[in-house]
Structure 1
């Protein structure tokens, strides 16, 4: 029995779910699972957390499984699943929590005043592996839009929207649903959908999410930039690192609320409080549609390297505009299928 079927059966308190049996259960499960990745991407944009997104999708699948005998086929299975997923997300967002980046909560801190204060994990917008949320598509333009709309800056901007406006914007602008389709899903009018979209666009424009380079494809110039970044970081060469950063580059470290801006404060922090990162190793990966690195610090025993952070690098106009370091490696490294140790190379 699949995870979806097993969860539905457990929720129902039986060994089977619904009226489906045998091959029918397997066929239904396959039809539902086909939509899991795109639904996870939708829920991630809504909720800002890959873990909450996966929980929401699993809840969606269980609800769909248990009520499939009531599905009348007046809409497509995909539309029906999106309706369930939207309701699940709206219920989760009723608690009022809006995930944020450090720069959404305060201004930058001068390095001389730097203090590391950790906030609860549900405060923060969280990173996601591309493979968990981006379904395979053959259209390059569609693939580019998908990557663009899971960038940290864009998902952070979405968090400023009321939940229903958030759903409308994602369905209309990201997934290209018609206004009439969104109105049917939300059980409202086309006029209400268009009004919500207009308000959502205005809010997004005010937050001005930066346009950064996505990870696929990276041209040769960007590849060389990342190679120079790795060399500068691993060599702890602050002069070389400074040459790669925009003057107003940002440096964040969730779960700490501290964030830094500008060459002097970033390199000053790395040479003082962050000096333990000297001698680190970076392993390339991809997160939120942008280049990323698994950051390993030298182990205290001196034997190899241990996980320290998931770095998401934002590139704008040929230079690095942000270094986002997510430090909760017990969560991020398993999610990204990264090794928990790194041998001394």
Structure 2
């Protein structure tokens, strides 16, 4: 990962006499709202990294801010408000992680499928990893220990790898390598020893290194450049709209994978992915429309499915592309209209006919 610490500054430390902090301690909820408003987005991203779900991040952030509001009278102002809120948000996420199932992708559940099932069935009992809309990603100040760029640290491979870590290791890695807090600061945040933090950090780094490709998507996107990236994403979407399997295959890496949570099946390798594309999305599905978007710091396409070319097309998936060079190495189609709402995308486009079905 890139060392992004150069030129970064530590958390700004608001003065204890901040008028809104004084008012908040006296019970002024509007003043408290003004204090936390600039930090809400970055805290939400932190909760997403910890929990792997926008919905869970919503709940955790709401609970964390409620805890902060109840405890603001005990915040002396000697330390940064931002650090204090990150400590509360981290502990809230750790509490949530003990009562919720680990978020997963289809690759975590079993081997790739060797054939296309007659009818894919959603696995509703699985807690699926979800996508994060780029419109919500924000970059807060990083400390001198930060090793990851903020957008690198929300990429699908990284967030998926985090879900395999115990909560304390996940927190240590994010607070140190992503946000740049010192080991001593993290030990205070998590009410533990610096020895425990160092141990958790070392173990977390080993696990993440095994699961995350050495080249991040941010590095790949910079190498490709905006023009080539735009052409690639446009060609990918056009292959769907034309239902052109050959055009799609021409964009894919030999070892490409395709998964579609909440469906458990996933496909690995050019032949398997081509067979699936031929039989289902580009063979059985009547008509596609698309809109470009982005998720987890990666290019994405919102796909809409309709009964015919002139009728209404309803949201089917937010499909996130993982690139290697100028080829698509991973396709992750997050199926469901609920994702469209999160991404501020229309849930349907086109005319008046009923939703198409893909089987």
> In which range does the TM-score fall when normalised by the shorter chain?
0.7 to 0.9
Aligned counterparts of 2:55 and 2:63: Cα–Cα separation in 1: 12
- The 3 A distance-change label for structure 1 pair 56 and 273 is same
Structure 1 residue 255 corresponds to structure 2 residue 262: yes
- Indicate the residue corresponding to 1:314 in structure 2: 322
What is the RMSD computed on CA atoms of the aligned residues? 2.4
Structure 1 residue 45 corresponds to structure 2 residue 67: no
Alignment check: 8 A CA contact 2:155 2:217 kept: no
- The 3 A distance-change label for structure 1 pair 80 and 212 is closer
Q: SS at the partner of 1:34? A: helix
| Shift of residue 27, structure 1, vs aligned partner | 2.5
Q: SS at the partner of 1:196? A: helix
- Indicate the residue corresponding to 2:26 in structure 1: 19
Alignment check: 8 A CA contact 1:212 1:316 kept: no
Aligned counterparts of 1:133 and 1:39: Cα–Cα separation in 2: 10
Structure 1 residue 186 corresponds to structure 2 residue 194: no
Aligned counterparts of 2:339 and 2:125: Cα–Cα separation in 1: 12
| Shift of residue 98, structure 1, vs aligned partner | 1.1
| Shift of residue 263, structure 1, vs aligned partner | 2.2
Between the two proteins, the alignment pairs up a number of residues equal to: 321
Aligned counterparts of 2:154 and 2:179: Cα–Cα separation in 1: 12
Aligned counterparts of 2:175 and 2:56: Cα–Cα separation in 1: 19
Gaps of 5+ in 2: 1-23, 352-359
Structure 1 residue 287 corresponds to structure 2 residue 282: no
- The 3 A distance-change label for structure 1 pair 216 and 262 is closer
Aligned counterparts of 1:115 and 1:296: Cα–Cα separation in 2: 19
Alignment check: 8 A CA contact 1:18 1:66 kept: no
Q: Which runs of 4+ in 1 moved over 4 A?
A: 112-115, 215-218
Aligned counterparts of 1:143 and 1:225: Cα–Cα separation in 2: 29
2:343 to 332, 336, 340: 336
Report which of the two has the higher share of helix.
1
| Shift of residue 148, structure 1, vs aligned partner | 1.0
Aligned counterparts of 1:293 and 1:137: Cα–Cα separation in 2: 30
Alignment check: 8 A CA contact 2:134 2:294 kept: yes
- The 3 A distance-change label for structure 1 pair 224 and 85 is same
Aligned counterparts of 1:312 and 1:226: Cα–Cα separation in 2: 10
Structure 1 residue 266 corresponds to structure 2 residue 270: no
Cα deviation digits, residues 256-312 of structure 1 (max 9, x gap) = 100011222222222223334353111001111101111011246952311111111
- Indicate the residue corresponding to 2:156 in structure 1: 152
| Shift of residue 336, structure 1, vs aligned partner | 0.6
Alignment check: 8 A CA contact 1:299 1:306 kept: no
| Shift of residue 192, structure 1, vs aligned partner | 1.8
- Indicate the residue corresponding to 1:120 in structure 2: 124
- The 3 A distance-change label for structure 1 pair 224 and 100 is same
TM-score by length of 1: 0.86
| Shift of residue 209, structure 1, vs aligned partner | 4.1
Aligned counterparts of 2:125 and 2:26: Cα–Cα separation in 1: 40
